[in-house]
């Protein structure tokens, strides 16, 4: 089977699609990837790449076809818009030329924001007479509104119509959260929709073998670790407030690993409030994350108090479960439901700093055995529902069925 994967983001950017492509190749699937120039999350084109011109490169047995891409910049609304639309434009103009001599059985879209990146895939699918599967990772235009970048009813309404067009011209829609099914179905008409969750690399579930760098906050009593993007959607201000409430509990430390648009604000708040219990050491390579997670006493996931995020399951929930540590879920809806259903930790309402502080104290006061049971429950739930190898086999089944039978399955 020959598959064209379309994703604005790809290696050396760190996204789940990298591991999926690698696993498809290991199972005998021939894969090409149509993508852009790497610039996430710093907003600057990575060394060795350039904004303009098309590039081809081999990667783990796949061929990567890169179209020109304007970098997203840092904290720039205009830069983000230019980044999104440059991939759509150059994907439409350059994408068909890059893959003109390539034959595929099916096209697979990794539908991170913006879902509009599926437009070049649909166009190539039409040109080549091939079916298109879209894996919906985010809801649009709801996500566009929730992050605060745009509030214009005209813009949001126009985006909704484009998303309706995309969904209705796909041949199968996979959704990463069960709660996505209803809002996607409202726009998708007769297109088939199937729940297909995210997974993480198996290394998260294995004992860490590499030595992790020293980071303040670990090994100093009870450590609560947050990992990932530090942005508006994560409502990381709640972490600052909770740390303020708990600053007299000198045995409790917050460790926030990662980078993003709100990290500077957090660093400023740490200095202004004199928070010696909140540490922001920055980003580390993904291969170091399992070791850090297994060092933590508890793992924290947060999202903003917005309807869109109540139906979203952050991928770090699966990573946290795999790591076998108790989870504190400071969010609403589906993500919190999974943690509670798995008995993998404790949930608290989104953006409620006092409730978060109380929940951390509750977990802190539990015995190590009680916390271990939560961690074991999470790992067991991960193995039963989110195992990478099992999900890759499912995906191959969907790719084969759609390519052979036509629209829907």
pTM, two decimals, is 0.88
Judge whether 334 and 312 are in contact, CB under 8 Å. yes
Q: Which pLDDT score, from 0 to 100, does residue 224 have?
A: 98
Query: For residue 16, which of 239, 176, 206, 236 has the smallest C-alpha distance?
Result: 176
Q: Give the whole-angstrom CA distance, residue 110 versus residue 120.
A: 12
Q: Which pLDDT score, from 0 to 100, does residue 219 have?
A: 83
The ranges of the chain with pLDDT < 70 are 147-151, 406-409
What count of Cα atoms within 13 Å lies in the side-chain half-sphere of residue 307?
7
pLDDT in tens, 111-140: 998 899 999 999 999 999 999 999 999 998
Q: Which pLDDT score, from 0 to 100, does residue 407 have?
A: 47
DSSP collapsed to 3 states, 173-186:
EEECCHHHHHHHHH
Query: What is the separation, in whole angstroms, between the first and last Cα of the chain?
Result: 18
């Amino acid at each position: 089977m020959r598959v064209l994967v379309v994703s604005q983001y790809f290696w050396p950017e760190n996204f789940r699609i990298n591991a999926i492509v690698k696993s498809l190749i290991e199972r005998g699937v021939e894969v090409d990837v149509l993508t852009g120039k790497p610039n996430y999350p710093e907003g600057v084109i990575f060394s060795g790449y350039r904004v303009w011109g098309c590039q081809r490169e081999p990667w783990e047995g796949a061929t990567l076809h890169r179209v020109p891409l304007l970098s997203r910049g840092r904290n720039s609304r205009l830069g983000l818009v230019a980044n999104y639309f440059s991939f759509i434009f150059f994907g439409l103009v350059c994408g068909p030329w890059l893959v003109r001599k390539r034959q595929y059985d099916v096209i697979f879209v990794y539908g991170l924001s913006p879902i509009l990146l599926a437009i070049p895939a649909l166009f190539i699918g039409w040109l080549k007479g091939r079916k298109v599967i879209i894996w919906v990772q985010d809801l649009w235009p709801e996500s566009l509104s929730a992050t605060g970048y745009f509030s214009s009813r005209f813009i949001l309404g126009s985006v909704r119509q484009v998303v309706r067009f995309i969904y209705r011209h796909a041949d199968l829609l996979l959704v990463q959260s069960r709660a996505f099914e209803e809002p996607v179905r409202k726009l998708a008409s007769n297109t088939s929709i199937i729940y297909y969750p995210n997974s993480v690399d198996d290394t998260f579930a294995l004992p860490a073998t590499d030595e992790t760098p020293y980071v303040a906050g670990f090994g100093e009593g009870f450590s609560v670790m947050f990992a990932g993007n530090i942005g508006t959607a994560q409502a990381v201000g709640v972490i600052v407030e909770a740390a303020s409430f708990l600053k007299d509990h000198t045995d409790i430390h917050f460790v926030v690993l990662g980078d993003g648009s709100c990290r500077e604000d957090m660093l400023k708040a740490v200095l202004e409030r004199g928070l010696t219990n909140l540490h922001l050491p920055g980003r580390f390579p993904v291969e170091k994350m399992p070791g850090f997670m297994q060092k933590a006493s508890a793992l924290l996931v947060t999202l903003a108090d917005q309807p869109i995020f109540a139906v979203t399951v952050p991928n770090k929930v699966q990573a946290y479960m795999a790591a076998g540590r108790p989870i504190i879920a400071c969010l609403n809806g589906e993500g919190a439901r999974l943690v509670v259903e798995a008995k993998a930790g404790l949930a608290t309402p989104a953006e409620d700093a006092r409730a978060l502080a109380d929940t951390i104290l509750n977990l802190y006061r539990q015995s190590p055995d009680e916390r271990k049971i939560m961690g074991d429950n999470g790992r067991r739930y991960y193995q039963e529902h989110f195992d990478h190898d099992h999900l890759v086999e499912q995906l191959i089944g969907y790719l084969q069925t759609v390519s052979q039978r036509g629209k829907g399955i």
